[in-house]
């Protein structure tokens, strides 16, 4: 009991940190930069000049509808998911506000949103994450991030008591853009055109032991009083330095006079 109370006291003394499974995965990238990571943590991952193309906001839920409606109609998953073995029954995915867990050792709140969740006949869970991208060399470089992202989802699910996770996997939906005069009629519609996506599956090992050390690393970096040294050659660090220099050199001129605001 004393150890538990001590852990609670230590946790309360630490400033809370909220981080997504995907952001946590950045720690595993070969080109990880501690300075950039520190800045993102301090800014709560709200940094300027970033945007998410709207088309992906439409493709993501559409992909989930395809697999969901297929199972509803045929009582089985689409054939391209057979690479994961028997998946069982699809389950509702908890919303972001519900799918999170606090690590008492570090006072880090780990969050996420799963794409696909299944329960096998042995009651184990299968978590899949969809990527609308080609499985290229560049995507392969991001694999360590995607792995930690899925490990995070499994870690959260088990700590929430949803069940034992038995398998994880990535599903790459690659846009098929090869087109010729002979095949153009296959994609033409009366009011537009259609684009095919080819699925490639990648089963992953289950490594929940990776999560606690990464959460501790998040805590260690966040608690630094000043930004740590950046990675040598980091392009984002160079852009950040340039942005800070421009802001400081033009600080006075950047302030808009009150009259100008009032019109």
pLDDT in tens, 82-105: 999 989 889 999 999 999 999 999
Indicate whether this model's pTM tops 0.75.
yes
Is there a contact between 152 and 211 (Cβ–Cβ < 8 Å)?
A: yes
- pLDDT at residue 255 greater than cutoff 90: no
Residues in the chain: 263
- Encode pLDDT of 144-167 as tens digits: 999 999 999 999 999 999 999 999
Count CB neighbours of 23 within 10 A: 21
Q: Which ranges in the chain belong to alpha helices (H)?
A: 2-13, 21-25, 34-42, 54-74, 137-141, 143-159, 211-222, 235-249, 251-254, 258-262
- Can you tell me the distance from the alpha carbon of 63 to that of 127, in angstroms, rounded to the nearest whole number? 15
Mean pLDDT confidence for 56-80: 91
Q: Give the pLDDT confidence score for residue 259 in this predicted structure.
A: 46
Is there a contact between 55 and 183 (Cβ–Cβ < 8 Å)?
A: no
User: How much is the mean pLDDT over the chain?
Assistant: 88
| Nearest Cα residue to 15 out of 212, 211, 222 | 222
| Nearest Cα residue to 111 out of 45, 201, 47, 22 | 22
- pLDDT at residue 6 greater than cutoff 90: no
- pLDDT at residue 263 greater than cutoff 50: no
Tell me the domains of the chain and their CATH numbers. Answer: 2-237 (3.90.320)
Is there a contact between 147 and 204 (Cβ–Cβ < 8 Å)?
A: yes
- pLDDT at residue 244 greater than cutoff 90: no
């Amino acid at each position: 009991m004393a150890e538990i109370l001590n852990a609670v006291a230590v946790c309360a003394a630490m400033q809370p940190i909220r981080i997504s499974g995907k952001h946590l995965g950045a720690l595993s990238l070969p080109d990880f930069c501690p300075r950039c990571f520190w800045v993102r943590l301090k800014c709560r991952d709200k940094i300027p000049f970033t945007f998410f193309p709207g088309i992906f906001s439409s493709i993501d839920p559409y992909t989930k509808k395809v697999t969901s409606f297929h199972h509803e109609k045929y009582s089985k998953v689409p054939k391209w998911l057979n690479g994961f073995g028997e998946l069982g029954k699809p389950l509702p995915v908890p919303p972001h506000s519900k799918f999170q867990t606090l690590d008492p050792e570090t006072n880090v709140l780990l969050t996420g949103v799963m794409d696909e969740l299944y329960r096998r006949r042995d009651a184990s869970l299968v978590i899949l994450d969809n990527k609308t991208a080609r499985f290229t060399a560049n995507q392969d470089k991001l694999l360590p991030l995607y792995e930690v992202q899925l490990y995070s989802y499994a870690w959260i699910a088990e700590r929430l008591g949803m069940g034992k996770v038995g398998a994880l996997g990535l599903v790459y939906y690659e846009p098929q853009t090869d087109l010729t005069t002979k095949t153009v009629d296959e994609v033409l519609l009366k009011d537009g055109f259609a684009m095919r996506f080819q699925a490639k599956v990648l089963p992953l090992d289950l490594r929940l032991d990776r999560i606690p050390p990464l959460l501790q690393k998040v805590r260690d970096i966040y608690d630094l009083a000043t930004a740590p040294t950046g990675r040598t050659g980091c392009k984002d660090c160079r852009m950040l330095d340039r942005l800070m220099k421009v802001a400081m050199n033009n600080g006075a001129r950047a302030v808009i006079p009150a009259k100008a605001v009032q019109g």
